[in-house]
Structure 1
Amino acid sequence: MCLEEGRRAKEPTRAVDYAAVTRNGQQIYLANLHHAYTQGETRRAFAVRTRPQPVTTPLRPAAFEPVRWRQLLLFRMPPNYADRVALKRKIDAPDTDMLAHCDVVLRDRAARHSWSKKLTNEVRRSIKLLQALQDTPGAKIHASDVLELPRLGGTALSTMEILDAAGLLIDDRTLAVRHYFAKHTADLPPKMTEQLQLWLDVMIDGSRQAPRRRARHPQTAHLHILGMASILRSWAAAGHESLAEITKKEYLAALPDRGAHRNFAEQGFRSVFRILKARKQVFLDPTRGVKLTPVTASIPLPLDTDAIRKALNSPDLACACAVSMVAFHALTGPQVQGLLLTDVRDGKLYLDDRIIPLADPVRARLRAYLDHRTLTWPNTLNPHLFINRRTAHRLTPASRNFPWIKVDLKPQALREDRILQEIYATGGDVRRLSDLFGLSIEAGLRYANTLEHADLAENRVESSSNPGTG
């Protein structure tokens, strides 16, 4: 058939319905004459029809219910991306009820968060790709399949947001710590691996079974595995099939002599054996009565004043604002990342149970950054203070590396420098550190002990000119 007739009859943003176009015959056109007069007018009319309009009331999604059955597979084969023709034919097929349902949610989200036309079209195409690759048409889509979209030129994160809002997403993503656990327990005996798997599940998900236990941060489990991995392999090489066979003497002999790895191993095995003992997987706890080895505290060091001054005067307004908050008020990196617009008002910063009057240099940089934020993303709904081009159209915070990746400073080192300047200025007043920065007594003593340090005493006069002082 003639392609011009198909383009003329098809609806905007939808594929050509060949059956409907050829139902009453075909209109033939002379080649290379049609676009010369109508291309510009068609493009302008299409832009008016597809321009995002402000939405005052939420759109009601089309009635759609995902199928409850699922095609079971003997084994999952990687998608065959070689047959591009068959895949393109599926994408160009008429829209289904599932696509219409997602399209309503997509248009609503795009209008509310000011998504560009390019991003909206990429998400619409990505959803069509996912439907074309489905084993069970009309079923919910797994997040692991969405993560494969970049290989086909699609977008994963925005598509996952739309599917989640439409109620069509099954989040089957695996935590990185579980991959790390599987890697370091692959060569262990089955019984030992089963016991460690029970421990990991309780650490990550918590337990409502007595004795109850709250879920821990995945990074905690990661550090425990890091300290225990080499010891577990040595026990497996010695012929042990289960952790119930480990005695207190073998446990003490396997620990490293010193260092952070010894502390990681002690804390990890204490956690493992406590959980296994509570679940009646072991008879005795070999870690009982063994004191933890104290970790050698590091000595906080001052930073170069010129580097801090350069970062404070950075042309990137987000960098200058973030650096000033840490340099003057000693905020932590996660605190800066989680700041909301409502946390800053009346020249004060409301942080947890603390009220911090902002210094004048901080207020000046904050005012400049807020003006830049308003001009760059005037319609953003993101409540976080620091946003970038990736998060401006969402509600999530920026990554922990933003905006620090643009300056040669780390927030923790800058925070330590600020607290050091305060301890120098007050002559070791730990109570003042606790009031100003919310530190505990032990943390305050870590900085107070630097007053008599010989290496730091030599540079005290030079560091006193740091702009974070006062």
Structure 2
Amino acid sequence: MSAIVPDDVRAALPPSGANRCRMLRGLKSIFGLLRARKAIFTNPAARILAEAPGAILPMPLNVNDMRRALNSTDPVQDLRCALSALHGLRSGQLRLLKLTDIDGARLIVGDRVIVFVAPVRERLTAYLNHRTARRLATANPCLFTHPRYANGTDPVGPRFVYARLGPHLNTRDLRTDRLLQEALAVGDAKRISEMFGLTIDTAQRYTGILGHPGLNDPDTFTRPDHRDPRRLHPAQDDAVGGKAFAAAPVPDAPRSPQSMERRLSGVVSGGW
């Protein structure tokens, strides 16, 4: 081990990317431990630098997975998916929601005041009826509860959130999909940051994809494709899910937030 020099470490590392960073961190840790135990005199990886891998571009979800979750007969899965997919709530926010956070057609989440769209209101009503029928005597103030937590006031655990969303879905990807759709509709990082409680830098991660060449190339940007129901607008020549829709190309100019909400809510209530 003492014969290993920095050139040997460089030769063993992958040329670039996340694998190079991970391997280098591991080697630095191993050689650091060996040096601390005086098995070697110097750490040959100590002065080797690796560029951080490029940021992963946000990608929309497979719309079929979202349809299955939003068409579920389980009102818990139905509501949780709708809150994350349409209002961009995180897993922790879903777990900590309380019944008192609901004020009519509004939801108060920290500093955000969210006005429910119609599909979410319908699913919320169905879930509250289900909750009342199943857990009349619970003292738990949380919106989402479980028999294990019925006699206390603790929120459900993270595993319960992911387990009830269904396969291939999690709140992080649902939120990412919602933010990306808003970026495609608005294209304004400041508005997105105010609407979803993000920093400007985080919002720019989503608006920065607007110029990506793959947006207009279905071979490289396949989720959702150009027949994704969330990219359709009302017409009279094509029926999807009981409502009339027609395919619309991805526009060059940013859409308004009102068109985003109308498109999302229309598809959820009609086809999802």
* TM-score when normalising by structure 1: 0.40
Aligned to 2:165: 404
Letter in 2 for 1:333: S
Structure 1 vs Structure 2 CA RMSD: 3.8
Q: Measure the CA separation in 2 of the matches of 1:434 and 1:446.
A: 11
Greater mean deviation of Cα atoms: 268-277 or 349-358: 268-277
The within-5 A match list for 1:268-307 is: 290-305=48-63, 307=65
Q: Measure the CA separation in 2 of the matches of 1:449 and 1:391.
A: 42
Aligned to 2:138: 380
Q: Identify the structure with the greater strand proportion.
A: 2
Relative to structure 1, the CA distance from residue 268 to residue 346 in structure 2 (aligned partners, 3 Å threshold; closer, same or farther) is: farther
Instruction: Check conservation: 2:162, 2:171, Cα contact below 8 A.
Output: no
Aligned to 1:447: 206
For these two proteins, the number of residue pairs brought into alignment is: 225
The within-5 A match list for 1:165-314 is: 239=1, 248-267=6-25, 290-305=48-63, 307-314=65-72
Aligned to 1:431: 190
Instruction: Check conservation: 2:20, 2:50, Cα contact below 8 A.
Output: no
Instruction: Check conservation: 2:85, 2:178, Cα contact below 8 A.
Output: yes
- 1:350-382 CA distance string (max 9 Å, x none): 334433333332233223212211220122233
Letter in 2 for 1:453: H
Relative to structure 1, the CA distance from residue 254 to residue 438 in structure 2 (aligned partners, 3 Å threshold; closer, same or farther) is: farther
Q: CA deviation at 1:248?
A: 4.3
Say which of 360, 363, 366 aligns to 2:124: 366
% identical equivalent positions: 34
Aligned to 2:242: none
Relative to structure 1, the CA distance from residue 446 to residue 346 in structure 2 (aligned partners, 3 Å threshold; closer, same or farther) is: same
Letter in 2 for 1:354: R
Which has the higher Rg, Structure 1 or Structure 2?
1
* TM-score when normalising by structure 2: 0.64
Instruction: Check conservation: 2:140, 2:151, Cα contact below 8 A.
Output: yes
Relative to structure 1, the CA distance from residue 336 to residue 285 in structure 2 (aligned partners, 3 Å threshold; closer, same or farther) is: farther
Q: Measure the CA separation in 2 of the matches of 1:354 and 1:299.
A: 26
Gaps of 5+ in 1: 1-238
Q: Do residues 467 (structure 1) and 264 (structure 2) align?
A: yes
Structure 1 segments, 4+ long, off by >4 Å, are: 245-251, 267-277, 279-290, 304-307
- 1:370-408 CA distance string (max 9 Å, x none): 221122012223343222344434535142423113x65
Aligned to 1:413: 173
Higher RCO, 1 or 2 (CA under 8 Å, sep at least 6)?
Answer: 2
- 1:310-368 CA distance string (max 9 Å, x none): 43232211111101101111122343234343443454333344333333322332232
